[in-house]
Structure 1
Amino acid sequence: MNKLLIIEDDQALSSTLARRLTKQGFECVQCHDASNGLLMARQFMPSHILLDMKIADHNGLTLIKPLRQYLPKVKMVLLTGYASIATAVEAIRLGADNYLAKPVDTQTLLNALAAEVEPEVQAEFTDQPLSPKRLEWEHIQQVLANNNGNVSETARVLGMHRRTLQRKLLKKPVADNRCA
């Protein structure tokens, strides 16, 4: 039986995912914060991990390396409500096997968990440039990742007030509407 550890601070979503995936043959365990996630990984020894990118005040990206070091063969999928190309690339670079934007349907989730081949970060590229707002969002996410999720340092690097950056980070990513 496949063992799945769900590290997600939204308890309702975590329970929903566990119910859906238990029906698909997974033995599921849930935890709702970063430190318990690492502890549960050691105790439960999962074959698969669903990891939220934003776990309360922690950045899920920082958990990828320690989880991967302890469980090198685990199939790890990062879930996020704040999808961007920069964080997708960073997640894969750090060792996640896949990256999915919330909400995610059961079949997409099962495909990501079952994937044997290392997935590529998929993005639709066209000749049209990204909109200025989307470019700003991507840039902020990249600088934030480069600063290990440190909002204050990221604000300094970007030359903006910390509160302004926090407000921008709380917003959903700007739709990928390309300029004409």
Structure 2
Amino acid sequence: MDRGLTDKSSPTLLIVEDDTDFARTLKRSFERRGYTVSLAAAPGEVDAMLAHGAPDYAVVDLKLGAESGLPCVKTLASSSADTVIVVLTGYASVSTAVEAIKLGATHYLPKPSNSDDIEAAFTKAEGDSAVSVGERETKSVKTREWEIIHQTLAETGFNISETARRLGMHRRTLARKLEKRRIE
């Protein structure tokens, strides 16, 4: 665990990220911007961090090893309604974005995102009703397959075996597809 979340002279930030290099890079970048930053690498560490107080901001990776980051979003949101939560993911899909927002995230950013993108998301806690509503874009079969896989993954709590069963494919085939399209 890094510094606690009790220093209120600067904004506090909790980064929940299992990629240690990326987490350290974000931590250094936000510390240079005046944030007091704490790191957690797994959902279980979030509870321990919250014992020191709720952060002003949180950045949560959607996929933490074999676990989902969505329970972290729910825990953070229920701990404090004032915490601004941004979800980062290399596995972007509409279904996981919707679930993250329902659970209390204020923003959802695809990887790669940098500290500028994340800090901009912190200030956009409100939705934008003036955003353009365009026609539905035509998607390739592969893109649609990718969205269905990730929707099913979210529904199963990122359980690969159950997702493969629901999609009617072999578990190893699904694992290969997930590794092939990885965006981190």
**Which TM-score band applies after superposition, normalised by the shorter structure?**
0.7 to 0.9
Residues 1:21 and 1:158: Cα distance change in structure 2 (over 3 Å): same
Equivalent residue of 1:77, what SS? Answer: strand
Deviation at residue 127 of structure 1 after TM alignment: 5.0
Q: 2:74 aligns with which of 54, 58, 65?
A: 65
Counterparts of residues 5-20 of structure 1 (less than 5 Å): 5-20=14-29
| 1:118-162: CA deviation from partner (whole Å, max 9, x where unpaired) | 468x89854542100000000111111112222221111111111
Do structure 1's residue 82 and structure 2's residue 91 form an aligned pair? yes
Equivalent residue of 1:43, what SS? Answer: coil
| 1:95-135: CA deviation from partner (whole Å, max 9, x where unpaired) | 21101111113321111112241468x89854542100000
Asked whether the 8 Å contact 2:14–2:59 carries over to 1, the reply is: yes
Q: Distance in 2 between matches of 1:30 and 1:107?
A: 19
The runs of 5 or more residues in structure 2 that have no matched partner are 1-9
Do structure 1's residue 47 and structure 2's residue 56 form an aligned pair? yes
Q: Distance in 2 between matches of 1:173 and 1:57?
A: 14
> What code does the residue aligned with 1:104 have?
S
The alignment's C-alpha RMSD in Å is 2.2
- TM-score, structure 1 normalization: 0.86
> What code does the residue aligned with 2:84 have?
K
> What stretches of structure 1 move > 3 A for 4+ residues in a row?
122-128
**Identical counterparts, % of pairs:** 38
Q: How many residues align?
A: 173
- TM-score, structure 2 normalization: 0.84
> What code does the residue aligned with 1:66 have?
T
Do structure 1's residue 101 and structure 2's residue 110 form an aligned pair? yes
Asked whether the 8 Å contact 2:17–2:41 carries over to 1, the reply is: yes
